[in-house]
Amino acid sequence: QKEVEQNSGPLSVPEGAIASLNCTYSDRGSQSFFWYRQYSGKSPELIMFIYSNGDKEDGRFTAQLNKASQYVSLLIRDSQPSDSATYLCAVNGESGAGSYQLTFGKGTKLSVIP
Amino acid sequence: GAGVSQSPSNKVTEKGKDVELRCDPISGHTALYWYRQSLGQGLEFLIYFQGNSAPDKSGLPSDRFSAERTGGSVSTLTIQRTQQEDSAVYLCASSLAEAETQYFGPGTRLLVL
Protein backbone atom coordinates (compact mmCIF):
# COMPACT_ATOMS: atom_id res chain seq x y z
CA GLN A 1 0.00 0.00 0.00
CA LYS A 2 1.59 3.21 -1.17
CA GLU A 3 1.39 6.05 1.33
CA VAL A 4 2.02 9.75 1.10
CA GLU A 5 2.21 11.70 4.35
CA GLN A 6 1.80 15.41 4.90
CA ASN A 7 1.25 17.53 7.98
CA SER A 8 -2.37 18.61 7.87
CA GLY A 9 -1.62 22.03 9.29
CA PRO A 10 -2.88 24.61 9.34
CA LEU A 11 0.43 26.24 8.59
CA SER A 12 0.25 29.98 9.17
CA VAL A 13 2.88 32.34 7.80
CA PRO A 14 2.96 36.14 7.57
CA GLU A 15 2.72 37.79 4.19
CA GLY A 16 6.13 38.00 2.54
CA ALA A 17 7.59 35.08 4.47
CA ILE A 18 8.71 31.70 3.13
CA ALA A 19 6.23 28.85 3.48
CA SER A 20 7.73 25.37 3.67
CA LEU A 21 5.55 22.36 2.92
CA ASN A 22 6.81 18.84 3.41
CA CYS A 23 5.86 15.38 2.20
CA THR A 24 7.19 11.85 2.64
CA TYR A 25 6.31 8.80 0.61
CA SER A 26 6.60 5.08 1.21
CA ASP A 27 7.24 3.57 -2.24
CA ARG A 28 10.89 3.71 -3.30
CA GLY A 29 9.82 2.91 -6.85
CA SER A 30 7.99 6.21 -7.18
CA GLN A 31 9.13 8.06 -10.25
CA SER A 32 7.56 11.49 -10.33
CA PHE A 33 6.29 13.94 -7.80
CA PHE A 34 3.71 16.67 -8.01
CA TRP A 35 2.43 19.56 -5.97
CA TYR A 36 -1.16 20.62 -6.51
CA ARG A 37 -2.92 23.60 -4.96
CA GLN A 38 -6.58 23.27 -4.05
CA TYR A 39 -8.71 26.22 -3.08
CA SER A 40 -11.79 25.49 -1.01
CA GLY A 41 -14.54 24.09 -3.21
CA LYS A 42 -12.30 23.87 -6.26
CA SER A 43 -10.41 21.08 -8.00
CA PRO A 44 -6.64 20.55 -7.68
CA GLU A 45 -4.46 22.81 -9.81
CA LEU A 46 -0.93 21.77 -10.75
CA ILE A 47 1.79 23.94 -9.22
CA MET A 48 4.96 22.01 -9.99
CA PHE A 49 6.34 18.60 -10.81
CA ILE A 50 9.79 17.18 -10.19
CA TYR A 51 11.41 13.96 -11.35
CA SER A 52 15.08 14.26 -10.36
CA ASN A 53 16.88 14.71 -7.07
CA GLY A 54 17.64 18.31 -6.21
CA ASP A 55 15.82 21.58 -6.57
CA LYS A 56 13.53 22.89 -9.27
CA GLU A 57 12.52 26.53 -9.28
CA ASP A 58 9.55 28.19 -10.99
CA GLY A 59 8.94 31.79 -10.04
CA ARG A 60 8.21 31.97 -6.30
CA PHE A 61 7.99 28.19 -6.01
CA THR A 62 10.82 25.72 -5.44
CA ALA A 63 10.31 21.97 -5.30
CA GLN A 64 12.96 19.84 -3.62
CA LEU A 65 13.31 16.08 -4.00
CA ASN A 66 15.47 13.66 -2.03
CA LYS A 67 14.78 10.11 -3.19
CA ALA A 68 17.19 8.56 -0.69
CA SER A 69 15.17 10.07 2.15
CA GLN A 70 11.86 9.64 0.28
CA TYR A 71 11.14 13.26 0.91
CA VAL A 72 9.76 16.04 -1.26
CA SER A 73 9.08 19.64 -0.29
CA LEU A 74 7.65 22.84 -1.69
CA LEU A 75 8.94 26.27 -0.76
CA ILE A 76 6.87 29.34 -1.47
CA ARG A 77 8.84 32.57 -1.30
CA ASP A 78 7.26 35.98 -0.68
CA SER A 79 4.01 34.31 0.38
CA GLN A 80 0.84 36.16 -0.56
CA PRO A 81 -2.66 35.91 0.90
CA SER A 82 -3.73 34.44 -2.44
CA ASP A 83 -1.45 31.48 -1.71
CA SER A 84 -3.79 30.47 1.11
CA ALA A 85 -5.07 27.05 0.08
CA THR A 86 -4.56 23.36 0.69
CA TYR A 87 -1.41 21.98 -0.92
CA LEU A 88 -1.52 18.38 -2.05
CA CYS A 89 1.57 16.27 -2.54
CA ALA A 90 1.11 13.51 -5.13
CA VAL A 91 3.37 10.68 -6.14
CA ASN A 92 3.26 8.74 -9.40
CA GLY A 93 4.74 5.42 -10.24
CA GLU A 94 3.74 2.27 -12.03
CA SER A 95 1.22 0.62 -9.76
CA GLY A 96 1.89 -2.97 -10.69
CA ALA A 97 -1.45 -3.08 -12.43
CA GLY A 98 -0.08 -1.20 -15.42
CA SER A 99 -1.37 2.21 -14.50
CA TYR A 100 0.22 5.39 -13.27
CA GLN A 101 -2.32 6.54 -10.75
CA LEU A 102 -1.43 9.38 -8.48
CA THR A 103 -1.27 8.65 -4.76
CA PHE A 104 -2.13 11.79 -2.82
CA GLY A 105 -1.37 12.99 0.64
CA LYS A 106 -4.25 14.49 2.58
CA GLY A 107 -2.86 17.96 2.08
CA THR A 108 -1.45 20.78 4.16
CA LYS A 109 -3.65 23.80 4.70
CA LEU A 110 -1.65 27.02 4.32
CA SER A 111 -2.85 30.34 5.64
CA VAL A 112 -0.92 33.50 4.71
CA ILE A 113 -1.69 36.28 7.15
CA PRO A 114 -1.70 39.85 5.73
CA GLY B 1 -7.04 25.29 -25.14
CA ALA B 2 -10.00 23.77 -23.35
CA GLY B 3 -9.34 21.92 -20.15
CA VAL B 4 -10.99 18.85 -18.72
CA SER B 5 -14.74 19.29 -18.43
CA GLN B 6 -17.16 17.37 -16.26
CA SER B 7 -20.92 17.25 -16.01
CA PRO B 8 -23.06 17.73 -14.13
CA SER B 9 -21.28 20.07 -11.76
CA ASN B 10 -23.69 19.11 -8.99
CA LYS B 11 -25.98 16.11 -8.60
CA VAL B 12 -28.45 15.43 -5.81
CA THR B 13 -30.06 12.01 -5.85
CA GLU B 14 -32.03 9.72 -3.62
CA LYS B 15 -30.56 6.61 -2.08
CA GLY B 16 -31.01 3.65 -4.40
CA LYS B 17 -31.05 5.64 -7.64
CA ASP B 18 -28.45 5.26 -10.38
CA VAL B 19 -26.29 8.20 -11.47
CA GLU B 20 -24.02 8.86 -14.44
CA LEU B 21 -21.11 11.27 -14.30
CA ARG B 22 -19.41 12.45 -17.46
CA CYS B 23 -15.83 13.49 -18.19
CA ASP B 24 -14.51 15.08 -21.36
CA PRO B 25 -10.69 15.06 -21.30
CA ILE B 26 -8.29 17.50 -22.90
CA SER B 27 -8.19 16.86 -26.64
CA GLY B 28 -5.41 14.43 -27.53
CA HIS B 29 -4.94 13.09 -24.02
CA THR B 30 -4.86 9.31 -24.12
CA ALA B 31 -4.93 8.61 -20.39
CA LEU B 32 -7.94 9.36 -18.22
CA TYR B 33 -8.36 8.91 -14.48
CA TRP B 34 -11.26 9.05 -12.05
CA TYR B 35 -10.70 10.02 -8.40
CA ARG B 36 -13.03 10.62 -5.49
CA GLN B 37 -12.62 13.16 -2.70
CA SER B 38 -14.80 12.79 0.36
CA LEU B 39 -15.22 15.54 2.93
CA GLY B 40 -12.03 15.85 4.94
CA GLN B 41 -10.37 13.02 3.05
CA GLY B 42 -7.64 12.86 0.47
CA LEU B 43 -8.13 12.04 -3.17
CA GLU B 44 -8.87 8.37 -3.71
CA PHE B 45 -8.06 6.69 -7.04
CA LEU B 46 -10.97 4.86 -8.68
CA ILE B 47 -10.08 3.78 -12.23
CA TYR B 48 -7.66 4.50 -15.06
CA PHE B 49 -8.15 4.34 -18.84
CA GLN B 50 -5.50 4.16 -21.51
CA GLY B 51 -7.40 4.69 -24.71
CA ASN B 52 -10.67 2.82 -24.35
CA SER B 53 -9.36 0.08 -22.10
CA ALA B 54 -9.18 0.14 -18.32
CA PRO B 55 -6.05 -1.69 -17.19
CA ASP B 56 -6.52 -0.65 -13.59
CA LYS B 57 -9.92 -0.81 -11.90
CA SER B 58 -8.43 -1.52 -8.51
CA GLY B 59 -9.85 1.56 -6.84
CA LEU B 60 -13.52 0.97 -7.57
CA PRO B 61 -15.10 0.57 -4.10
CA SER B 62 -17.74 -1.99 -5.08
CA ASP B 63 -19.44 -3.62 -8.05
CA ARG B 64 -21.99 -0.81 -7.98
CA PHE B 65 -19.34 1.35 -9.62
CA SER B 66 -18.46 1.02 -13.29
CA ALA B 67 -16.93 3.20 -15.96
CA GLU B 68 -16.46 3.19 -19.67
CA ARG B 69 -14.66 5.27 -22.24
CA THR B 70 -15.60 5.47 -25.88
CA GLY B 71 -13.70 6.75 -28.89
CA GLY B 72 -10.67 7.33 -26.70
CA SER B 73 -12.32 10.47 -25.42
CA VAL B 74 -15.40 10.88 -23.22
CA SER B 75 -15.74 8.72 -20.14
CA THR B 76 -18.80 7.94 -18.03
CA LEU B 77 -18.69 6.82 -14.41
CA THR B 78 -21.87 5.04 -13.34
CA ILE B 79 -22.91 4.41 -9.77
CA GLN B 80 -25.80 2.03 -9.36
CA ARG B 81 -28.09 1.89 -6.33
CA THR B 82 -26.40 4.88 -4.74
CA GLN B 83 -25.72 4.91 -1.01
CA GLN B 84 -25.18 7.88 1.30
CA GLU B 85 -21.50 6.99 1.62
CA ASP B 86 -21.14 7.61 -2.11
CA SER B 87 -21.56 11.34 -1.46
CA ALA B 88 -18.31 13.00 -2.52
CA VAL B 89 -16.69 15.08 -5.22
CA TYR B 90 -15.84 12.94 -8.22
CA LEU B 91 -12.83 14.27 -10.09
CA CYS B 92 -11.63 13.34 -13.53
CA ALA B 93 -8.10 13.95 -14.76
CA SER B 94 -6.38 13.39 -18.07
CA SER B 95 -2.80 13.24 -19.23
CA LEU B 96 -1.11 13.24 -22.61
CA ALA B 97 0.17 9.74 -21.95
CA GLU B 98 0.54 7.49 -18.98
CA ALA B 99 3.01 8.76 -16.39
CA GLU B 100 2.63 12.31 -17.70
CA THR B 101 1.25 15.21 -15.68
CA GLN B 102 -2.43 14.86 -14.85
CA TYR B 103 -4.79 17.81 -15.23
CA PHE B 104 -8.02 17.85 -13.30
CA GLY B 105 -11.52 18.85 -14.25
CA PRO B 106 -13.77 20.92 -11.98
CA GLY B 107 -15.42 17.83 -10.49
CA THR B 108 -18.97 16.66 -9.90
CA ARG B 109 -20.37 17.10 -6.40
CA LEU B 110 -22.64 14.16 -5.66
CA LEU B 111 -25.01 14.23 -2.72
CA VAL B 112 -27.02 11.11 -1.95
CA LEU B 113 -29.98 11.79 0.34
Please report which confidence band the pLDDT of residue B2 belongs to, taking 50, 70 and 90 as the band edges. Answer: confident
Q: Which amino acid is at B1?
A: G
- Does the structure show a pLDDT above 60 at A49? yes
Q: Do β-strands A11-14 and A108-113 pair in parallel, antiparallel, or remain unpaired?
A: parallel
Q: Report the mean per-residue pLDDT for chain B.
A: 93
Q: Report chain B residues whose CB lies below 8 A from the CB of A107.
A: 42
pLDDT > 70 in chain A, percent:
94
Measured at the CA of A102, the angle between CA A98 and CA A105, to 5 degrees, comes to 145
- Does the structure show a pLDDT above 90 at A54? yes
- Does the structure show a pLDDT above 80 at B54? yes
Give the chain B residue whose CA is nearest to the CA of A96: B56
pLDDT at B1: 57
- Does the structure show a pLDDT above 60 at A81? yes
Chain A neighbours among B 3-62 (CB < 8 Å)?
A: 31, 33, 35, 41-43, 45, 48, 50, 55-56, 58-59
Weakest mean pLDDT among B52-61, B77-86, B88-97: B52-61
Helices (H) then strands (E): counts for chain A = 0, 11
**For residue B42, what are the contacts with CB-CB under 8 A and spacing of at least 6?**
A88, A104, A105, A106, A107
The terminus-to-terminus CA distance of chain B in angstroms comes to 37
- Does the structure show a pLDDT above 70 at A112? yes
pLDDT at B57: 85
